[in-house]
Structure 1
Amino acid sequence: MTTEPTAPLSATAMAEALERRAVTPATLLADALARVARADATLGAFVHLDPDGAARAAAEAGARQAAGRRLSPLDGVPVAVKDNIWVAGMPAHWGSRMWSDFTPPCDDIVVERLRAAGAVIIGKTNTPEFALSGRTDSPLHGKARNPWNPALTPGGSSGGSVAAVAAGMVPFSVATDAGGSTRIPASYTGLYGLRPSNGRLARRHGFPPMGIDFQAVGILARELADLELAYGLLAGPDERDPASLRFPPPRAAGRPRIGWFARYEGELVHPEVEAAVIECARLLEAAGYEVTPCPPPYDVALVRRVWGAISSAGAARAAELHPERWRKEASGAIAAAAERGLAMSAVDYVRALDGLAALRAQVSENWGAADVYLCPSAASPAWAIDDEFPAEIGGKPGHAAAQNTFATWVNAVGHPGLSIPGRPHADGRPLGVQLVGRFGGEADLFALARVIAAAAPWTRPPFPAW
């Protein structure tokens, strides 16, 4: 057996080394925990570690390895899970003081599948309260920071997960995405971030949803191969989640057609983000794909109105689970959202649902011939950690809604979206571009991401050493 690794390994490299018995699960776990010990006081990635439970899981994986009975390529690989996903035996705080003493009674389905694959869950990652913010600053656990520069935000609401992965603590993390919460932070940290089609990663047990079916379980990884490996083992139907049973057949063979847009008229976008999208469109065209510029297929003002109403109602419902506590313990942003939700009438809420139905019909009508849309993941790169939103984007004043311009419509329609690294900003900050597929079209996104990665004339900078 080899000694402790000296550099972060990908999940696929870990799997290969475990298969040929060049490393043990216990060694990989020790390395992961050592990396957490070195970096987490600065980065605030984890809110709970379970070294004893992880050690038991690693020992079981090691026994299977020795017997030649590994459960899957992930058997013995250390991973992390976002704080708002239920893991039996570990706290699920939801980033909130109101759930500071809550431990869920069971695993959600994705965690069941991680365990069935033999993955070693080392702990839970930081998220803002109710996972409802574009940056990660929990009233219970404080800030998560960007490994590329701790003075910058890693984004939200999966800020702890991207910090853990980008810093090399784990090769991938399971997270969630209700308005861009995997894809936007991935773009700020040089990662791959998937928001799959609704139901693709089945769910059953967890906190009440903030925005009906806007939220999906997602995956964040340094390497595309790692994301695909995890997706292949975690996705699939489960009768406990009817949405997981309702997928169309795969698209007929042939290259997907690509529509692209790099800006939304009247909305902010950083020039280098726009340029990164255009560059990727040209790469795909040069690779022989049909690539067509087109207008965005959605009304962003309608997206924001619908999301604002539905998420406010969700915040009110969650807050009212603690009627005597929430006004004292909720963050300012959540308290304000809950008050807006409580002020809504039933008619107001039904109108929001009508708006969502109209939005979904609009996107279906406007989708056109494209199989995949290429667009920005976020309007800008990461910004100063103490600011609620970027002070400026492309030389114009920023605002709180700017970062959801290109992300939340994907959640509204329930389609898959994949953020991939684009050409970095001139100052070295990561930038992401997004591929959005038809419902059930994850395979097209992975295929195009591989083409872009292979053809890219830029080199992704080395991840910071922690």
Structure 2
Amino acid sequence: MTDAAGAPLSATDMAARLDAGETTPEALLADAFARIARANAALGAFVHLDPEGAAAAARASGARQSAGARLGPLDGVPIAVKDNLWVAGMPARWGSRMWADFVPPADDIAVERLRAAGAIIVGKTNTPEFALSGRTDSPLHGPARNPWDVKLTPGGSSGGSVAAVAAGLVPLSLATDAGGSTRLPASYTGLYGMRPSNGTIPRRHGFPPMALDFQAIGVLGRSLADMALLLDAVSGPDPRDPASLRGPGRPIAGRPLRIGWFSAIGDEAVDPEVAAAVAECAALLAGAACDVVPREAPYDIAGVRQVWGVLSASGAARAAEIHPDRWRAEASRPIAMAAERGLGLAAVDYVRAMDGLAAIRTGVAETWGDVDVFLCPAAASPAWPIDQEHPAMVGGRQGHAAVQNTFATWVNAIGHPAISVPARPHADGRPLGVQIVGRFGEDATVIDVARRLDSCRTWSMPDAPVW
């Protein structure tokens, strides 16, 4: 089902047509499954589909529509959920052979809220093992591919989710973000992807965390309005998650928004077109009643990488050891290596990482300064060939495994909100994203700046790929 321009319907368009009686939940679901049938073999987006459960949910939504009792804008809208999130009755394989047969007994809170909003969960999307890679290639399900060019990766670890949304198979997906896993893939596929403040989307049931509280549930959409619709549906406090009970940040009123921007940190590699996109967006926001000032990056990239290395290795070891007799034979090579590193760490190494994390958090707080948000790259480069672990070259320099997280993981370390917003595409047509990072709890400010940037952009967004 398409709009007047031939593009897949957005979630907001679907909601409007459902309200007007111009379509039905059953018709939207049939269209989604038809798109998935055409495209999924090429894209590797979905790893599990639930046609019976989705059909039952669509019938119930259709009955509410007929009775004039729709539950809200997501009632009847098809949606995807990343495979590391728990959906009762559907497999949650975590991209791992060790969890190939696992079916969780309960919904995570965000999934509960999707069901309560009447959304139609069509299935689960591809993720690398333990959702611990910047490239989605699961030992259980194989790779996810970028809908803009299937020779490119969609990134990770939410590669299946962005492939599903960018290709128009569904308009929305729940994802996760522990080191950039929502924002980076969004930037590679022309989507809006947000990692909210810790606790904005409460959590209860799920896999053990890889790195303390670095991971948040993320939201993905082809438009900012769609993404915000999903965020609204799953946000808000829940007593089962004490972190969700903290209040929102301070309102900003009576003065222009102050935006600090940077396009580099130290001598780290960054694609020149990525840097140029950030500078262009800074100039546009300066013309949109914002006070825009250049700033240095407020974090120590070496410290972030050091802490992430210890925490992620420890998390991999803890998860692997749930299957002590299986993991060495069944884990992918990267996870097996990370788990071995984690098992080799001493308690003092972990405590020093905690000290390092505290230093990161106090350091960012002290250097944040007088800005409301920061504007910076989402990723150091656009998407790269799918058969490579990481970009071979970035900005004329040798790439490496951590290069794409240069501008992402610091946000997870401090628990703040950040969104990737599509920018002017690369000269070769690959999507690019810029990132807006806000103070803790000021998720609404981040979305406001994204909305302002959308309203003043001077380039035409390319047509979404048609599948």
Identity of matched residues, %:
68
Post-superposition CA distance 1:103-142 (Å, at most 9, x none): 0000000000000000000000000000000000000000
1:44–1:142: 8 Å Cα contact kept in structure 2?
Answer: yes
CA distance, structure 1, for counterparts of residue 266 and residue 363 of structure 2: 18
1:175 aligns with 2:175: yes
Superposition deviation, residue 251 in structure 1: 2.1
Q: Is the 8 A contact 1:4 1:31 kept in 2?
A: no
Partners in 1 of 2:258 and 2:415 — Cα distance? 20
Q: Which amino acid aligns with 1:447?
A: D
Task: Name the CA distance, whole Å, in 2 between partners of 1:340 and 1:417.
Answer: 30
Q: Which amino acid aligns with 2:317?
A: A
Give the superposition deviation at 1:447. 1.1
Counterpart of 1:354 in structure 2 is: 355
What does residue range 263-274 of structure 1 map to in structure 2 within 5 Å?
A: 263-274=264-275
Q: What is the letter of the counterpart of residue 32 of structure 1?
A: A
**Partner-residue secondary structure (3-state), 2:435:** strand
Cross-structure match for 1:15: 15
TM-score by length of 2: 0.98
Correspondence list, 1:316-355, <5 A: 316-355=317-356
**Superposition deviation, residue 7 in structure 1:** 4.1
Question: What residue number does 1:24 align with?
Answer: 24
TM-score normalised by L of structure 1: 0.98
1:230 shift after superposition = 1.0
Code of the residue aligned with 1:313 in structure 2: it is S
Cα shift at 1:286: 1.1
Q: Structure 1 residue 444: deviation in Å?
A: 1.0
2:289 is paired with a residue of what secondary structure? coil
Match of 2:416 in 1: 415
Distance 2:88 2:262 in 1: 43
Q: Secondary structure of the equivalent of 1:434? A: strand
Q: Which letter maps to 1:210?
A: M
Name the SS for the 1:81 alignment partner.
strand
1:97 and 1:62 mapped to 2: Cα distance?
Answer: 38
Give the residue type in structure 1 aligned to 2:379.
Answer: A
1:445 matches 2:446: yes
Please name the residue that 1:426 is paired with.
427
Is 1:139 aligned to 2:136, yes or no?
Answer: no
User: Retained in 1: the 8 A contact 2:7–2:464?
Assistant: no
Q: Following the alignment from structure 1 to structure 2, what is the Cα–Cα distance between the partners of residues 289 and 106?
A: 45
> Is 2:307–2:353's contact at 8 Å kept on the other side of the alignment?
yes
How far did 1:17 drift?
0.3
1:463 alignment counterpart: 464
Distance 2:298 2:443 in 1: 19
Distance in 2, Cα, partners of 1:4 & 1:286? 32
Matched AA of 1:258: I
- Give the residue type in structure 2 aligned to 1:190: G
Q: Superposition pairs for residues 177-196 of structure 1, below 5 Å?
A: 177-196=177-196
Matched letter for residue 45 of structure 1: A
Please state if 1:214 is matched with 2:214.
yes
Matched positions, count: 465
Deviation at residue 3 of structure 1 after TM alignment: 11
Alignment of 1:294-333 (within 5 A): 294-333=295-334
Letter in 1 for 2:72: S
The amino acid that maps onto 1:257 is: R
- Give the Å deviation of 1:252: 3.3
Match of 2:41 in 1: 41
Q: State the match for 1:50 in structure 2.
A: 50
User: How far has the Cα of 1:248 moved from its partner?
Assistant: 4.1
Deviations 1:408-446 (CA, angstroms, capped at 9, x unpaired): 000000000000000000010000000000001111111
- Deviation at residue 293 of structure 1 after TM alignment: 0.3
Alignment match, 1:224: 224
> Match of 2:52, SS?
helix
Q: Deviations over 1:220-273 (max 9, x none)?
A: 110000011111111000000000001344323243210000111110000000
1:460 is paired with a residue whose SS is coil
Quote how far apart the aligned CAs of 1:450 are.
1.2
Could you tell me which residue of structure 2 aligns to residue 256 of structure 1?
257
The 2-side partners of 1:247 and 1:373 are apart by: 22
**Local SS of the residue matching 2:364:** helix
Residues 350-386 of structure 1: CA distance to partner in whole angstroms, max 9, x if unpaired?
1101100010000000000011000000000000000
Separation in 2 of the partners of 1:459 and 1:51? Answer: 37
Q: Residues 355-394 of structure 1 correspond to what in structure 2 (within 5 A)?
A: 355-394=356-395
